Amino acid sequence: MEKFVSFMEQTGFSLITVIVTAVLGYLIIGNLVKQLKLALLASRLDNALVNFVLTIVRFALLLALLLLCLAGLGIPLTGIVSAISAATLAIGIAVKDILSSVANGIVLVINCPFKEGDYVDIGPVSGSIKEVKLMHTVLTTPDNRQVMLPNSQVFSSPITNYSVNDTRRMDISVDVDYSENPEKIKDILLKVASKHPMVLSEPAPSCHYNFSKDSAINFNVRVWCRRTDYWNVKWDLDEQLTKTLVAKGVQIPFPQVTVSYRKEETK
């Protein structure tokens, strides 16, 4: 009891001060983070990156509050900082992949190759960006699966963003029999493509053909449409082009091989 009384006489005021500082500091940090979140949501920063920034800011403020409380207890910070540095080095070696993901996440925030809702290809993975977190990026696939990619993998993979531009080009391949008139087929395909209400008139639809296939003349119908209409145009034109050719009696070929026999003359 005497030791406890002596301890309270010597450090009691400092201890109470530190406790009050810790409680008030925690509440202030929570309020600051909340206000920062509102400011970030009102800014041009993408929503997928807001949580990433808030996580870093919250961690930095809590670490500063911890050091402030330790200093208030009279604990020398020099040794603690040195210990933290040594521990950081050891942990950094052990979890270099995690730190790499964090660093790459910061680079992604700065470069902004995509934003929330963008449909992208990241390496072999395709999906819509849901969120960029401290160590990984979250995507939602077209069949509603959630994929979490480490930011190190995202940063080192080729990224194709389909949502950046307002318009997209579409190439549709059509095969017809070699017996058909190429110019006639080309005219039919262009008329069908040009009449579609979602196909843009500028750039105008185009059609080219070649004879490189073994059993068919191949036509490439190229149209432009708004990004949001891409799949509707794709499905509509696939159906309409095929139905129109069939209705006009155009032969749609199947893979075939012509075999000829050569009779050897006997001497």
Residue 154 and residue 90 in one domain: no
pLDDT digits (tens, 9 = 90+) for 21-32: 888 888 888 888
- How many contiguous H segments (helices) and E segments (strands) does the chain have? 7, 8
Residue 8 pLDDT > 70, yes or no?
no
Residue 256 pLDDT > 70, yes or no?
no
pLDDT bin (cut points 50, 70, 90) of residue 126 is very high
State the average pLDDT over residues 103-118: 77
**Which of 37, 66, 94 lies at the terminal end of a domain, its last residue?**
94
Residue 112 and residue 172 in one domain: no
Q: Which amino acid is at 219?
A: F
Q: Which two tokens stand for residue 205?
A: 């639809």
Please choose, from the candidates 162, 98, 100, 105, the residue with its C-alpha nearest in 3D space to the C-alpha of residue 132: 105
Give the range among 34-48, 123-137, 185-199 with minimum mean pLDDT.
34-48
Distance separating alpha carbons of residues 251 and 215, to the nearest angstrom: 12
Residue 71 and residue 129 in one domain: no
- Please report, for the domain that includes residue 13, its CATH number: 1.10.287
Helix (H) or strand (E) holding 57: helix 47-72
Distance separating alpha carbons of residues 210 and 192, to the nearest angstrom: 20
pLDDT digits (tens, 9 = 90+) for 71-88: 776 666 666 666 666 666
The answer to whether residues 177 and 217 touch, using CB atoms and an 8 Å cutoff, is: yes
Tell me, yes or no, whether 210 lies in a domain: yes
Distance separating alpha carbons of residues 214 and 24, to the nearest angstrom: 79
**Which of 69, 94, 119 lies at the terminal end of a domain, its last residue?**
94
Residue 232 pLDDT > 90, yes or no?
yes
pLDDT bin (cut points 50, 70, 90) of residue 108 is confident
Domain tally, the chain? 3
Q: What was the pLDDT predicted at 197?
A: 93
State the average pLDDT over residues 92-117: 69
- At 252 the three-state DSSP class reads coil
Claim: this prediction has a pTM higher than 0.85 = no
| Whether the bond into 182 is cis, omega within 30 of 0 | no
Which domain range does residue 224 map to?
167-247
